[in-house]
Amino acid sequence: MSWWKKATKSITTVATNTVNTVDKAANDAANAAAKLAAEQAAATQKAAEKAAADAKKAANDAAKAAEQSANQTAKYAQSLAKDTKKAMEHTANTVAAQTTEYAKQGVDVTSDAWKQGTAETMRIASEGVEYVEYAATEAIAYLDENACYIGLNMALTTGCVMYFTPKPAPGDPGTVTSTAMSATYLGWIATKGSQMVLASSIGYALTESLCLIPGVKGAVDKKLLQRVLTNVVSTVNPAVLAVSLATPAGVGIFVGSVISPIVAQLICSKVAPNGCSKAI
């Protein structure tokens, strides 16, 4: 064989081997990439399935905890409805806790008007409470009854001071609401109407402002809240109304000492003063 043919054959052999080597490397790389992609896909799917399973378990656990909490609240509420002494103790504890919070907000809880208001709240409780079942759209925000009171007391007292206590600014929400409620009371005195007529107006005004407070809005049925508050006002001692509603400043005292504890118990313990949940 001539040197030219030998050289050509050698070059061809080298080229063929090179091509085969490149093809093998490319195939190996492609196979490795495919294997890695498959492993990653499997890992991603596994992680997604685990995340979905964890989320489902968490949702089920939360739903179960909420149901257990609701059942416990219902049982406790029913026990309060059967035991007036226990209901009065519960109301006294609520009043005491809220009085402390109102003091922190700068409200004079040592005044005679405040003491008369809390005494009236206890008188109402002495007539017993009823268990009120309702669907609350934001009940899940409160994991249990104790957590509800802890969270709601601060929100409720802050909100009541904001919306029912007069301020120097004439356009302040607290000034507007308290002045309007006091004017409603004075107009009622002038016409000598029935206390239920007054209660309907005051109950509506109370409900509208209370439902602006985070922790109240969505946590109790609005129509139920208005019924309860209207009925409460209709049963309050007229002497207490005279002290509380004759002036805008007195409105804030009335709301803090009488209305606020009743609202807290309605939301957190699902109890209302006897007969107050009934239609007006």
**How confident is the chain (280 residues) per 10-residue block, as mean pLDDT?**
58 58 67 74 62 46 46 77 93 96 95 96 96 69 80 93 96 96 95 90 97 90 95 95 95 97 95 90
Q: How many domains does the chain have?
A: 2
> Same structural domain for residues 53 and 91?
no
> Same structural domain for residues 107 and 25?
no
> Same structural domain for residues 134 and 251?
yes
Q: Cα separation of 175 and 182, whole Å? A: 11
> Same structural domain for residues 133 and 45?
no
Is residue 159 packed enough to be buried (19+ CB in 10 Å), middle (13-18) or exposed (0-12)?
buried
Tell me if 278 is assigned to some domain.
no
- Residue 12 is predicted with a pLDDT of 58
- Residue 147 is predicted with a pLDDT of 86
**Which structural domain, as residue segments, surrounds residue 50?**
1-82
244 Cβ neighbours under 8 A, 6+ residues apart: 113, 116, 117, 250, 251, 253, 254, 258
> Same structural domain for residues 37 and 143?
no
Residue where one domain finishes, among candidates 61, 82, 103 = 82
Tell me if 280 is assigned to some domain.
no
- Residue 23 is predicted with a pLDDT of 65
- Residue 62 is predicted with a pLDDT of 39
pTM, whole model, 2 decimals?
Answer: 0.75
Q: Is residue 213 within 8 Å of residue 163, measured between CB atoms?
A: yes
pLDDT digits (tens, 9 = 90+) for 60-117: 443 444 445 555 667 888 888 899 999 999 999 999 999 999 999 999 999 999 999 9
- Residue 13 is predicted with a pLDDT of 61
- Residue 159 is predicted with a pLDDT of 96
178 Cβ neighbours under 8 A, 6+ residues apart: 164, 165, 166, 248, 249, 251, 252
The neighbouring-strand residues paired with 273 are 129
Q: Is residue 223 within 8 Å of residue 211, measured between CB atoms?
A: no
> Same structural domain for residues 62 and 159?
no
Report phi then psi at 272, rounded to 5: -135, 155
Residue where one domain finishes, among candidates 82, 112, 141 = 82
> Same structural domain for residues 152 and 174?
yes
> Same structural domain for residues 94 and 177?
yes
Tell me if 279 is assigned to some domain.
no
